[in-house]
């Protein structure tokens, strides 16, 4: 790690696509960073933090990557490519199509991701056709040299070409022979002369993207500014990496997070978990290669969801929720341990197998015979009882939702019945994850079987659960230390970790040992274990940390102040000095103003953290002319929603306009100097 960068600095976080410039009006592009770096330098900002810029295909989320290595072609500046000028001059159709790209620019607060991507890919394909590589089906000297340094390109190019063939469908929907090819088959396809020209398009595309990003990153560094990247912890199942290296992923499991107050079903992200055993056997080479590839551009990086390196919440692939998930690595309770604790086979079955009373389905059908016929589709009736266990063929609630109830009930009733059955499926105290090995659900104390236990049984089962969970913390600490020690030592970049909501003692310990900067979001940095949840004083923030006013998944400070009154009032009370200095007192603190923004940012500037990195939107609140009519429109992402709105935020003014705004620059400079 370059420890010379570990000093007090202020920075800005921004999605690359948001950087609206007059030369790139449709979407921010790699070269846009040059002008933005000039603005940051004049404003005293020393760090630019980007969201991930990897290829995500048709997905707007930068955390849903198709590749851990490939850059997103949407950020390529078409007119800056060496092939552009000649074709633009000689081909009227190409000129017309390129000019249409620029028409995507009228400001609407968001950019048209899919429209811009489709247009750019079409233009880039036209440009590729003018190259010697396309003409001969053989890489020219520059491309051959680049590919030699980026060996991942083979699997990625073969994968992308197949994605094109299958009209962007997930690889799990491809023909069987294309689904899990193995590296030998990938190599054969890569060398297939009939496929070479098309596959080399993706290699050429990545070389050009890399050239533009490297040039922009060099300009940022020359300006004395650190460029900080973002490493999503998980990979999309539909990615070149998960397709080409199945040995590094657990395709039968999905990553997420357990049930909490805001997520009664937990979170199921849909991404496969890692096979850390195989990754460790390979010396964590895939992760190290990933970081070393990123080091071409960045001087610092953010490890997304760092808790996942300690333990991941692993959910069976056939589940839609996270309720039946478990910690991985984790401890199990054996059948013998349960028997020794006094639970006989019948009791174990009651705790671990969901039971469906026929009467529950009678409620929907109003007909006992109809309920019985319906249940026979997916369950087995217990002898002599009006109780049913699910068939062994039911592996998750997806199987329940996909069951064919046609002819047995109306469609509307079928949906309600399936939802009721799925709820029963999840209503258990224990889950048998392999023969004679059980885990207690995160929500086991809310399960119906638990309520039927007597006090002595509850006490004994609780003791078993506590015993296993105490041992798990040691497993998590050991795993994370091994992984993070290997990763952080493999590059010179400064590591940062997103550790929000983590209450494991091992997390700050291991992060500190590996000099990984923690994250402090000012509105959430509270002593949650103390009555009233007082705000942590800024001078008590860890030195090895990053202070920020907002993150990409949260509201901005304007929306926070306007809509989360309790939190805002408590923050005002805890930091009255900064507000008073800006003329804000108890009788006028509730309305969000430019002075409010200045007070919050000034308070954050006083933190003990080495770095303070705030979203661009929060800095723009220093000048009301940059505010949008609706504060919600200034957000980057609203978690839990899949819409065209998410991840397509666009600056309300061009970078050139910001660079000419002396008042804004002076305001930001004032805050930056507060941290020296």
Say how far apart CA 174 and CA 162 lie, in whole Å. 9
Segment 455-462 shows an average pLDDT of: 96
Tell the residue number behind the tokens 């926070």, with chain if given: 560
8 Å CB contact between 177 and 184:
no
What tokens appear for 330 in the block?
């984790």
Q: pLDDT band for position 504 (50/70/90)?
A: confident
pLDDT value at 486 more than 70: yes
When the pLDDT of each residue in the chain is averaged and rounded to a whole number, the result is 94
Cβ–Cβ contacts within 10 Å for residue 409, how many?
20
pLDDT value at 491 more than 90: yes
What tokens appear for 322 in the block?
């996270």
What pLDDT does 105 receive?
66
8 Å CB contact between 551 and 501:
no
8 Å CB contact between 666 and 33:
no
* Cα angle 100, 50, 126; round to 5: 30
Classify each residue of 599-626 as buried b or exposed e, where b means 16 or more C-beta atoms within 10 Å of its C-beta. bbbbbbbbbbbbbbbbbbbbbbbbbeeb
Q: Which of 352, 380, 568, 344 is nearest to 441 (CA)?
A: 352
Q: Is 531 exposed, middle or buried (0-12, 13-18, 19+ CB in 10 A)?
A: exposed
Segment 81-86 shows an average pLDDT of: 97
pLDDT value at 472 more than 70: yes
Secondary structure (3-state) at 659: helix
8 Å CB contact between 317 and 253:
yes
Q: Which residues, 6 or more positions from 545, have their beta carbon under 8 angstroms from its beta carbon?
A: 517, 518, 519, 520, 608, 609, 610, 611
Strand order in the sheet with 333-334: 333-334, 437-440, 430-434
List residues bridging with 263 in a β-sheet: 260
Question: pTM for this structure?
Answer: 0.93
Backbone angles phi, psi at 267, to 5 degrees: -125, 130
Q: Which of 522, 563, 562 is nearest to 541 (CA)?
A: 522
8 Å CB contact between 510 and 537:
no
Secondary structure (3-state) at 296: coil
Say how far apart CA 333 and CA 310 lie, in whole Å. 21
Segment 470-498 shows an average pLDDT of: 95
Tell the residue number behind the tokens 């039946």, with chain if given: 324
Q: Which residues, 6 or more positions from 165, have their beta carbon under 8 angstroms from its beta carbon?
A: none
Q: Is 507 exposed, middle or buried (0-12, 13-18, 19+ CB in 10 A)?
A: buried
Say how far apart CA 304 and CA 515 lie, in whole Å. 16
- Residue with the larger pLDDT of the pair 644 and 180: 644
What pLDDT does 85 receive?
96
Ranking 71-80, 287-296, 526-535 by mean pLDDT, the lowest is 526-535
HEC letters along 415-436:
HHHHHHHHHHHHCCCEEEEECC
Q: pLDDT band for position 4 (50/70/90)?
A: confident
Q: pLDDT band for position 2 (50/70/90)?
A: confident
pLDDT in tens, 528-560: 888 888 999 999 999 999 999 999 999 999 999
In order, the DSSP letters of 1-29 are --GGG-S-EEEEEE-GGG---SSS-SS--
pLDDT in tens, 567-620: 999 999 999 999 999 999 888 888 999 999 999 999 999 999 999 999 999 999
Q: Which residues, 6 or more positions from 645, have their beta carbon under 8 angstroms from its beta carbon?
A: 110, 638
Q: pLDDT band for position 487 (50/70/90)?
A: very high
Residue 71 carries which DSSP code? B
Q: pLDDT band for position 407 (50/70/90)?
A: confident
Chain-centroid distance, C-alpha 560: 22
Cβ–Cβ contacts within 10 Å for residue 660, how many?
12
What tokens appear for 180 in the block?
């899990």
* Cα angle 35, 41, 44; round to 5: 145
Share of the chain above pLDDT 70, in %: 99
pLDDT value at 638 more than 90: yes
What pLDDT does 106 receive?
59
Say how far apart CA 531 and CA 200 lie, in whole Å. 62
Segment 318-327 shows an average pLDDT of: 96
Residue 540 carries which DSSP code? G
Classify each residue of 321-358 as buried b or exposed e, where b means 16 or more C-beta atoms within 10 Å of its C-beta. bbbbbbbbbbbbbebeebeeeebeeebbbbbbebbbeb
Task: Output the CA torsion sign for 179, 185, 188, 190.
Answer: positive
Enumerate helices (H) and strands (E) in the chain, giving the number of each: 30, 18
Say how far apart CA 400 and CA 422 lie, in whole Å. 7
pLDDT value at 423 more than 60: yes
Q: pLDDT band for position 107 (50/70/90)?
A: low
pLDDT in tens, 250-283: 999 999 999 987 789 999 999 999 999 999 999 9
Q: What end-to-end distance do the CA atoms of the chain give, in Å?
A: 22
Say how far apart CA 536 and CA 548 lie, in whole Å. 14
For strands 249-257 and 267-274, give the pairing: antiparallel
Segment 79-83 shows an average pLDDT of: 97
Q: pLDDT band for position 287 (50/70/90)?
A: very high
What pLDDT does 409 receive?
79
What pLDDT does 568 receive?
93
Say how far apart CA 212 and CA 298 lie, in whole Å. 14
In order, the DSSP letters of 501-534 are T---THHHHHHHHTT-BEEEEGGG-B-TTSTT-P
Ranking 215-224, 363-372, 427-436 by mean pLDDT, the lowest is 363-372
8 Å CB contact between 408 and 370:
yes
What tokens appear for 86 in the block?
């000649």
What pLDDT does 214 receive?
98
8 Å CB contact between 69 and 290:
yes
8 Å CB contact between 387 and 466:
no
Ranking 427-436, 438-447, 526-535 by mean pLDDT, the lowest is 526-535
pLDDT value at 360 more than 60: yes
For strands 611-615 and 9-14, give the pairing: parallel
**Highest-pLDDT range among 130-134, 374-378, 574-578:** 130-134
DSSP H or E stretch at residue 269: strand 267-274
Say how far apart CA 230 and CA 294 lie, in whole Å. 9
pLDDT in tens, 176-213: 989 878 889 999 999 999 999 999 999 999 999 999 99
pLDDT value at 64 more than 90: yes
Say how far apart CA 510 and CA 544 lie, in whole Å. 12
What tokens appear for 544 in the block?
């090895």
């Amino acid at each position: 790690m370059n420890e010379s960068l570990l000093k007090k600095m202020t920075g800005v976080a921004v999605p690359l696509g948001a950087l609206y410039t007059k030369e790139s009006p449709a979407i921010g592009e790699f070269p846009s960073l040059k002008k933005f770096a000039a603005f940051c330098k004049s404003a005293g900002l020393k760090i630019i933090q980007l969201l991930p810029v990897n290829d995500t295909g048709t997905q707007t989320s930068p955390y849903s990557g198709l590749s851990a290595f490939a850059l997103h072609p949407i950020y390529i500046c078409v007119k800056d490519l060496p092939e552009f000028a000649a074709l633009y001059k000689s081909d009227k159709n190409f000129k017309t199509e390129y000019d249409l790209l620029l028409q995507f620019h009228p400001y609407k607060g968001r950019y048209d991701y899919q429209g811009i991507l489709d247009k750019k890919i079409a233009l880039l394909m036209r440009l590729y056709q003018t190259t010697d590589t396309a003409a001969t089906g053989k890489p020219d000297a520059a491309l051959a040299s680049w590919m030699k340094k980026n060996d991942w390109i083979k699997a990625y190019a073969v994968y992308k070409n197949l994605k094109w063939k299958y009209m962007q469908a997930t690889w799990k929907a491809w023909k069987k022979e294309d689904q899990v090819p193995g590296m030998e088959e990938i190599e054969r396809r890569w060398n297939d002369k009939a496929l070479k020209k098309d596959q080399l398009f993706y290699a050429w595309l990545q070389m050009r993207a890399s050239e533009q990003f490297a040039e922009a990153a060099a300009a940022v560094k020359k300006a004395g500014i650190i460029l900080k990247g973002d490493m999503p912890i998980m990979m999309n199942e539909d990615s070149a990496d998960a397709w080409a290296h199945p040995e590094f992923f657990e395709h039968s499991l999905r990553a997420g997070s357990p049930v909490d107050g805001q997520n009664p079903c937990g979170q199921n992200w849909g991404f496969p978990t890692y096979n850390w055993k195989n990754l460790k056997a390979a010396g964590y080479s895939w992760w190290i290669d990933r970081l070393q590839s990123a080091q071409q551009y960045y001087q610092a990086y953010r490890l997304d969801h760092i808790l996942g390196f300690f333990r991941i919440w692993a959910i069976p692939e056939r589940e839609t929720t996270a309720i039946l998930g478990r910690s991985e690595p984790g401890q199990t309770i054996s059948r013998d341990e349960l028997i020794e604790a006094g639970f006989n086979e019948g009791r174990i079955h009651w705790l671990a197998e969901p039971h469906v009373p026929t009467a529950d389905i009678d409620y929907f059908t109003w007909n006992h015979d109809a309920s019985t016929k319906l249940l026979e589709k997916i369950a087995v009736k217990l002898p002599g009882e009006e109780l049913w266990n699910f068939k062994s063929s039911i592996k998750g609630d997806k199987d329940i939702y996909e069951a064919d109830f046609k002819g047995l009930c109306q469609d509307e009733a079928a949906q309600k019945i399936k939802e009721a059955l799925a709820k029963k499926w999840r209503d258990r105290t224990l889950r048998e994850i392999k023969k004679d090995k059980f885990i207690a659900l995160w929500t086991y104390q809310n399960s119906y079987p638990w309520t039927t236990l007597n006090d002595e049984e509850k006490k004994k089962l609780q003791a078993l659960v506590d015993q296993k969970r105490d041992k798990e913390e040691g497993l998590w600490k050991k795993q994370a230390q091994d992984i993070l020690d290997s990763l952080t030592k493999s590059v010179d970049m400064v590591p940062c970790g997103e550790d929000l909501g983590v209450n494991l003692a091992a997390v700050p310990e291991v992060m500190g040992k590996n000099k990984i900067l923690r994250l402090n979001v000012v509105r959430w940095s509270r002593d949650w274990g103390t009555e009233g949840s007082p705000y942590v004083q800024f001078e008590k923030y860890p030195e090895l940390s990053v202070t920020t006013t907002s993150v990409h998944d949260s509201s901005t400070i304007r929306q926070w102040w306007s809509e989360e009154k309790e939190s805002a009032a408590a923050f005002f009370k805890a930091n009255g000095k900064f507000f008073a200095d800006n003329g804000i007192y108890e009788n006028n603190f509730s309305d969000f103003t430019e002075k409010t923004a200045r007070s919050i940012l000034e308070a954050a500037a006083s933190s003990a953290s080495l770095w303070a990195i705030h979203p661009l939107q929060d800095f723009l609140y220093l000048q009301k002319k940059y505010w949008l009519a609706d504060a919600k429109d200034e957000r980057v992402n609203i978690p839990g929603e899949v819409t065209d709105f998410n991840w397509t935020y666009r600056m309300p003014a061009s970078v050139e306009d910001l660079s000419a705004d002396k008042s804004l620059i002076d305001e930001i400079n004032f805050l930056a100097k507060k941290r020296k």
